[in-house]
Chains A and B, each alone.
Chain A
Amino acid sequence: MKSTTVFKRPESILPVPTHYCPGCTHGIIHRVVAETLDELGIRERTVGIAPVGCSVLAYDYFNCDFHEASHGRAPAVATGIKRARPDLIVFTYQGDGDLASIGMAEIVHCANRGEKITVIFVNNAIYGMTGGQMAPTTLPGQVTTTTPYGRDVKHIGWPIRMAELISSLKTPAFVARCSAHNPLLVVKLKESVKKAFQYQVEGRCFTFVEVLSTCPTNWGITPTEALKWLEENMLPYYKLGIFKEPE
């Protein structure tokens, strides 16, 4: 009998085990990005920027050139690479502490300059790598190691909606918010990620895809409960959709 391959590892991801916790959606998001690089045929001219946070070791998993940035500075590093080599495809892969807290200035100004790069922004409403502290995206009332009584919005403000914030800028951009917590939404995530990279290939605009993600370890629940928690708690506050498209 002749065998047919219907599903395989993308060339853009390396055949190595990752350090991600069981039930974390980083693996899915990595795969979506890798499939996109394969399908657009851009792996050999792509440079990824790893952040500080859980995906700090992304350079060990992707099969393309990588540059490891300091905390929050990935969009500045990406700017340097893209301005030096506009022919390269440059993407950052950042978490919510990295991008929305310490790296707020860099992401906003990178978007505002309209740098022709792609930002994959993984939002799991918590600091993962450092052990579950409050992030700028932590939901009201959410218990973390630095909000043991739950996030009090009167004391520390409301969670920041990055996709909305970035799309409020006048500079043309592609801005979407997706989720990686069920297969249907992963298909939609793939569409947005591919669109973002396609726009970059065409030299159109700054592209930004926020991805809602789970952190069972630091949320203190099982992977299955985490998918449900995301759906019930994050989706109502972080609306999915495409917020901005270039004209």
Chain B
Amino acid sequence: MPKKLLKGAEAIGEAAVQAGCKLFFGYPITPQNEIPEYMSYRLPQVGGTFVQAESEVAASNMLYGAAGAGARVFTTSSSPGISLMMEAISYIAGAELPCVIVNIMRAGPGLGGILPSQGDYFQATKGGGHGDYRCLVLAPWSVQEAADLVMLAFDLADFYRNPVMVIADALIGQMMEPVEFKPYKPQKELKPKDWATTGCKGRKPNIINSLFLDPEVLEKHNQKLKKKYEEMEKNEKRWATYEISDDMDVLIVAFGTVGRVALTGIQLLKEKGIRAGLFRPITLYPFPYEELKKEAMKAKAVFVFELSTGQMLEDVKLSVMDKKPISFYGRQGGILITPEEVVEEVEKFSRKF
């Protein structure tokens, strides 16, 4: 297929359609309104259904129902709306249903602002809702990668019977870039959904449920989920590295659009004689701890850039431990980090070693 110039929000919507998703339930919230708008126009063309729900609470529970009935389904929202969906996401994880949730992150807490942020890292990667569960979390850095990861997200969700979140900041949602949609081919071997509520003709009734009143039974369920998360940790870590060498002054760690800014900063640093590389986690859960550590050992120090006050920073510390000095620079409130800031901060920091 030829490349198309698309807004991130449209590319995300089209990727879902290309992956065979014919159902969208959502609620308007800035800065992701272009996705439900696109779906309301696009889904009827492919025999699908778009429903504007009365709230994010309802939208996410429609997702829960449709996923239970075996459909490929997704929703999108932005930070405050994702908070409202956390109840349903916990149920969906507990009942082991596949679905895709896209969070176009805006600055918080509370109503915060409508500009780009990465402040929902903790919410996405450490549970978010109640109980002991995990979502697979994917973080794109370009419009093309957003489309690719949304398509992959449906396969991962079906394969693991687990909610998958794609978290991108408002920059990805709003900017236009060329995108190529390759013909969809499942990236995992997917089994038939024989557990779905499709009517019990010729079989025993199927029950979609997350209630286990017997503590022994619930603990077994928790252990089963844990095994599944361990499988994800073993098989699904994704990351990318750039400008890595064995004698780096600094290894920069950044995800999403911040990674792109950092890469420009790295080119500028080169002109100043500072050798910096970039480690960019693509799966935020599972986080590539060992892989990051291996690369960090090649640098004198590690520098984390985020659009928050330091959330992924905690995972970087868990990875690198006290083996290398770690510094952090973040912007909040919807303000982006510039390549010049990257240069200035890294230069200041690298002078210490």
Q: Interface of A with B (CB < 8 Å)?
A: 43-47, 49, 56-57, 59, 62-70, 73, 76-85, 88, 105-106, 108-109, 113
A23 → chain B, closest Cβ, in Å?
23
User: Is the CB–CB distance between A84 and B58 below 8 Å?
Assistant: no
User: Is the CB–CB distance between A76 and B65 below 8 Å?
Assistant: yes
User: Is the CB–CB distance between A76 and B58 below 8 Å?
Assistant: yes
User: Is the CB–CB distance between A85 and B62 below 8 Å?
Assistant: no
Contact of A66 among B55, B57, B197 (CB under 8 A): B197
Q: Interface of B with A (CB < 8 Å)?
A: 23, 25, 49, 51, 53-55, 57-59, 61-71, 73, 87-88, 91, 95, 197-202, 205-211
A-B contact pairs, 20 of them (CB 8 A): A44-B199, A45-B199, A47-B197, A47-B198, A56-B211, A64-B199, A69-B64, A69-B91, A76-B62, A77-B65, A79-B25, A79-B62, A80-B63, A81-B197, A84-B70, A85-B69, A88-B197, A88-B199, A105-B57, A109-B54
A74 → chain B, closest Cβ, in Å?
8
User: Is the CB–CB distance between B205 and A77 below 8 Å?
Assistant: no
Q: In terms of DSSP, what is the predominant structure of the interface of chain A? A: helix
| Cα distance, A45 to B61, chains bound together (Å) | 21
Contact of A68 among B63, B71, B87, B207 (CB under 8 A): B207
In the bound complex, residues from chain A placing their C-beta under 8 Å from that of B68 are: 67, 77, 80-81
In the bound complex, residues from chain B placing their C-beta under 8 Å from that of A66 are: 197, 205-209
With A44-B200, A64-B200, A65-B197 as known contacts, state yes or no: A80 contacts B91, CB within 8 Å.
no
Contact of A85 among B61, B71, B88 (CB under 8 A): B71
In the bound complex, residues from chain A placing their C-beta under 8 Å from that of B51 are: 79, 83, 113
Closest 5 CB pairs of A and B: A80-B65, A76-B61, A77-B65, A80-B66, A80-B62
Contact of A67 among B49, B87, B197 (CB under 8 A): B197
User: Is the CB–CB distance between A80 and B57 below 8 Å?
Assistant: no
In the bound complex, residues from chain B placing their C-beta under 8 Å from that of A108 are: 54
With A85-B71, A88-B69 as known contacts, state yes or no: A77 contacts B62, CB within 8 Å.
yes
User: Is the CB–CB distance between B69 and A80 below 8 Å?
Assistant: yes
B84 → chain A, closest Cβ, in Å?
11
In the bound complex, residues from chain B placing their C-beta under 8 Å from that of A105 are: 54-55, 57-58
Give A78's nearest chain B residue, CB to CB: B65
| Cα distance, A49 to B197, chains bound together (Å) | 10
User: Is the CB–CB distance between A81 and B54 below 8 Å?
Assistant: no
B36 → chain A, closest Cβ, in Å?
15
In the bound complex, residues from chain A placing their C-beta under 8 Å from that of B206 are: 65-66
User: Is the CB–CB distance between B197 and A76 below 8 Å?
Assistant: no
In the bound complex, residues from chain B placing their C-beta under 8 Å from that of A79 are: 25, 51, 58, 62, 65
| Cα distance, A67 to B71, chains bound together (Å) | 14
Contact of A81 among B55, B57, B65, B200 (CB under 8 A): B65
In the bound complex, residues from chain B placing their C-beta under 8 Å from that of A109 are: 53-54, 58
User: Is the CB–CB distance between B71 and A84 below 8 Å?
Assistant: yes
User: Is the CB–CB distance between A59 and B200 below 8 Å?
Assistant: no
Contact of B54 among A80, A85, A106 (CB under 8 A): A106
Contact of A47 among B62, B64, B69 (CB under 8 A): B69
With A65-B198, A65-B199, A88-B199 as known contacts, state yes or no: A73 contacts B205, CB within 8 Å.
no
In the bound complex, residues from chain B placing their C-beta under 8 Å from that of A45 are: 199, 201
